[in-house]
Structure 1
Amino acid sequence: MSTSSSPFGSSSVRAAGSGFASSGRFTRPAQLDQALIDHIAGGADPQRLSEVSHTTAASLLDRVHHTQDPQVVGRVLTLVEREGVDLVAELWSDADPESLPGVLWRLYMLRTWMHRNQESISRLWRVGEPVAGASSAIAGVDQAPTADDIARTADSILSGAFVGDFAVALERASAFCSVISAGLVAEARRRRERAAEVGEPTLAGTSRHFVRTAKSLHGTSVDFRKGATLWREGRLE
């Protein structure tokens, strides 16, 4: 995610389905099973990779839910940093948004995005919260969060998916995306109006960028909300 020059520092978010994608690079210590890593590196067929995707997602969720060991939870939270985004993407990024690995991929990318853009997201939250209705309460964020609050929220949403009610965690993620999307739309409108007043094309261009990002976040919010429903119905696999 490249950083924009706007004062909000909003990073570009592209849809993977309707989810998040990151261009960041991390080191890749061999924390996952080495045979699995070798298998991926050698090129798995799509069917086999889909099976591995679902198996690893279900196994990871089940293991943490049953142990709830703080050290295990900590390692799971930092899975992307520890294993490398490329490896995690190989496992889960192509999964259907309405599947367990697809939902987990989006949760991890949401956390990564929130940690990388704490300041800008805290400002966008303050813009979006007044027009987002009940979403702000569902997300569990103060009206005027600091950058540290955004980072803590990112961790609590993801950890809640593993040690709490999975559907509730998805609903919080959905609500959070809705508020930030509303903030982006409001900021885009303000910039369009300002561009019309002063004839500044850069402001108009930034406004379009904000609208595209808002649409991506809205799609991700919908994915999370559907995931919560499917989980409660026992159909998120």
Structure 2
Amino acid sequence: MTRPHHRPMTPGAGYFESIVGGTDPALVSEAADRAAALLVRGAHRSSDAGVAARVLHLAETEGLETLADVWAGSPADSLAGCLFRLYVLRAWVYADPLLASAQFDAGRSSAQFAQVVAGVADPPGPEQLKAMTDEVLLGIAVGEFADVLLRASAFARVVAAGRAVRGEADAVAMLSLAEQLEAAAHLELRTGLA
């Protein structure tokens, strides 16, 4: 017995508007980009001394998870993607400064130029690394964003070298982060990140 073919019913436009929940990914992406641009470009132009402190502590006041919800899916060559990577790097250093300093110290002889660019005090102890990551993030408000990215990239490159020297499996992930930040810095210098 054959059944006659019929066209399936399609819902009208009202059907999609009535679905509750979920957020349009395009709107989230647009909001992420706009927030990142305001943070980077607005903070740099501000004469308010408190802006730098608020930029530094944004992940603490808003929560890294909140920033991840907004910026984690952003491309590495966007302001939002760069900010997410910078805040994750700082959060990692603060979560385990002893490990971070051991990895950085182990990589210094393999990545001497990057060590100088990163600007970590010698010897690179836990407190020195925390101070350097804070200084890098403060640069969002008081320095050039490309310099912020280059310093963070150099730091990540030294840590990647240290992880490799120590035989740790996640050296490639840190090297990838370093390369992403460096590429973004060069793009910022050429045309400016969006």
Q: Same fold (TM over 0.5)?
A: yes
Using the alignment, how far apart are the partners of 1:225 and 1:216 within structure 2? 14
Q: What residue in structure 2 maps to residue 124 of structure 1?
A: 103
Alignment of 1:188-227 (within 5 A): 188=167, 210-211=168-169, 213-227=170-184
1:158 to 130, 137, 146: 137
Identity across aligned pairs (percent)?
A: 33
1:71 shift after superposition: 1.8
Contact 1:128 1:186 in 2 (8 A): yes
Contact 1:77 1:155 in 2 (8 A): yes
Q: What residue in structure 2 maps to residue 144 of structure 1?
A: 123
Q: What residue in structure 1 maps to residue 3 of structure 2?
A: none
1:85 aligns with 2:64: yes
The RMSD of aligned alpha carbons is 1.3
Q: Which moved more, 1:216-225 or 1:134-143?
A: 134-143
1:147 shift after superposition: 1.1
Structure 1 gap ranges (5+): 1-41, 189-209
Using the alignment, how far apart are the partners of 1:143 and 1:83 within structure 2? 32
Using the alignment, how far apart are the partners of 1:230 and 1:68 within structure 2? 26
Using the alignment, how far apart are the partners of 1:138 and 1:80 within structure 2? 25
Using the alignment, how far apart are the partners of 1:149 and 1:53 within structure 2? 31
Q: What residue in structure 1 maps to residue 159 of structure 2?
A: 180
- Which amino acid in the other structure matches residue 138 of structure 1? V
Deviations 1:166-225 (A, max 9, x none): 11111111110110111111111xxxxxxxxxxxxxxxxxxxxx22x1111000001100
Alignment of 1:59-98 (within 5 A): 59-98=38-77
Q: What residue in structure 2 maps to residue 102 of structure 1?
A: 81
TM-score under structure 2 normalisation?
A: 0.85
Contact 1:68 1:163 in 2 (8 A): no
Contact 1:161 1:170 in 2 (8 A): no
